[in-house]
Amino acid sequence: MLGNLTNWDNYRLRAEEQIARLLPQCWRTSFRDTGGTAGVDAMVELVAPDGTTSAVAIEFRTELTPTTAAPAWRALSATGATGLLMAPRISSRTQEYLRSREMAYVDLVGNAYWRLDSPALFISVRADRDAPKTPTRGRRLGGKKAGRLIRYLCDTNPPHSVGELASTLGIDAGNVSRYLDLLNKDGLVERAARGVVTDVDWEGVLRRWSEDYRRPTTRSYQDPRGQEHFFRGLRSSQGQYVLSGIAGATRYAPYTVESAVLCYSDDVDSFVATLDLQRTERGANVLFAIPFDKVVYARTQIRDGLIIAAPTQVAIDVLSGRGRELSQAEELIRWMKANECDWRA
């Protein structure tokens, strides 16, 4: 607790100022350090204009994650006062975790979720989009190895041992452990004795992956006869391909969104020549991309006579998009939740 007290001492003035900025101007606050004796860093008394008061216990962490939030919240609950978690910056993923469990929080860059019954107070602010991020060295889920592991965790049901994952996926066991540690720290996987994965929040894992996922570099083409002509060509083609993006998502979860077709293939030139596509930089209706890894071709499905990427691959391609792609992503995830037995083994 001594280390955490030192952190509170360093951040106390900024924390008090942030709380003051969030509260209505007519409210008054009175802070009192606990010295660690109450198991929390500080207590603050809030006084509303009508004289109603509330005692709030504050626990400050230099880094707040889903893993560290649970014990911190238990410490706050033990005081009998209303609890408030604070940190210099709270990631989007951790914010979702806290909100879903009604854990109040405030960080120093302006993110907050705080509800009081008496005096009545409700604050909900998301201000992290343009805030400076904490260092991410060793904490990224980019690259083909991470992608291969995440696809497997989401596509298949646990349990999974580190050795099994390393052997099956051709990834060094040390890398597997590091990726699992990151997901476990974010509360997205649960691990038992010897690090065996016992549960996976596949939706949360996909959303976390989308933060680091690099959308494939694409080459833009125009099929002057339209996308349906392109699809007919794919149906009769002998080449290896798989559809993803909105074109793939609508085959699982029909949704009225139009977009250029995203097609993965290792032999783009062959498809371009066979289907007589025209290279263009504007008005493209077909986008070809080289797969970041062979896992793109794993667990595909045939829909409408076309080879469609696994829902998890399609989901990451639309989750990392923008605008209409994000709307399609949410529709697809709803379908995945309702039809998990159709795509997860």
For residues 91 and 108, state if they share a domain.
Answer: yes
User: pLDDT band at 2, cuts 50/70/90?
Assistant: very low
Model pTM? 0.70
Q: Which pLDDT value is given to residue 38? A: 63
Q: Is 236 part of any domain?
A: yes
**What is d(CA 310, CA 298) in angstroms, rounded to the nearest whole number?**
7
Q: Is 92 part of any domain?
A: yes
Q: Is 130 part of any domain?
A: no
Number of domains in the chain: 3
pLDDT tens readout for residues 100-157 = 899 999 999 899 999 999 899 999 998 855 444 444 444 589 899 999 999 999 999 9
Q: Is 246 part of any domain?
A: yes
**What is d(CA 104, CA 187) in angstroms, rounded to the nearest whole number?**
18
For residues 18 and 102, state if they share a domain.
Answer: yes
**What is d(CA 330, CA 332) in angstroms, rounded to the nearest whole number?**
5
Query: Is residue 302's pLDDT more than 60?
Result: yes
For residues 335 and 237, state if they share a domain.
Answer: yes
Domain that holds residue 206: 144-212
For residues 294 and 264, state if they share a domain.
Answer: yes
Could you say which of 125, 159, 189 is where a domain stops? 125
**E-strand spans in 136-210?**
189-191, 197-200
Q: Which pLDDT value is given to residue 139? A: 58
Phi, psi angle pair for 122, to nearest 5°: -145, 120
pLDDT tens readout for residues 4-22 = 555 677 788 889 989 998 9
Q: Is 137 part of any domain?
A: no
Q: Choose the weakest-confidence range: 30-44, 72-86, 242-256, 271-285.
A: 30-44
For residues 222 and 306, state if they share a domain.
Answer: yes
> Could you tell me how many helices (H) and strands (E) the chain has, helices first?
12, 16
For residues 226 and 329, state if they share a domain.
Answer: yes
Q: Which amino acid is at 104?
A: A
Q: Are 46 and 58 in contact, with CB atoms under 8 Å apart? A: no
The average pLDDT across 43-47 equals: 93
Q: Which pLDDT value is given to residue 304? A: 95
pLDDT tens readout for residues 146-185 = 999 999 999 999 999 999 999 999 999 999 999 999 999 8
Q: Is the alpha carbon torsion for 21, 23, 28, 30 positive or negative?
A: negative
The average pLDDT across 49-57 equals: 93
Q: Is 303 part of any domain?
A: yes
For residues 208 and 225, state if they share a domain.
Answer: no
Mean per-residue pLDDT over the chain, rounded: 89
User: pLDDT band at 93, cuts 50/70/90?
Assistant: confident
For residues 116 and 152, state if they share a domain.
Answer: no
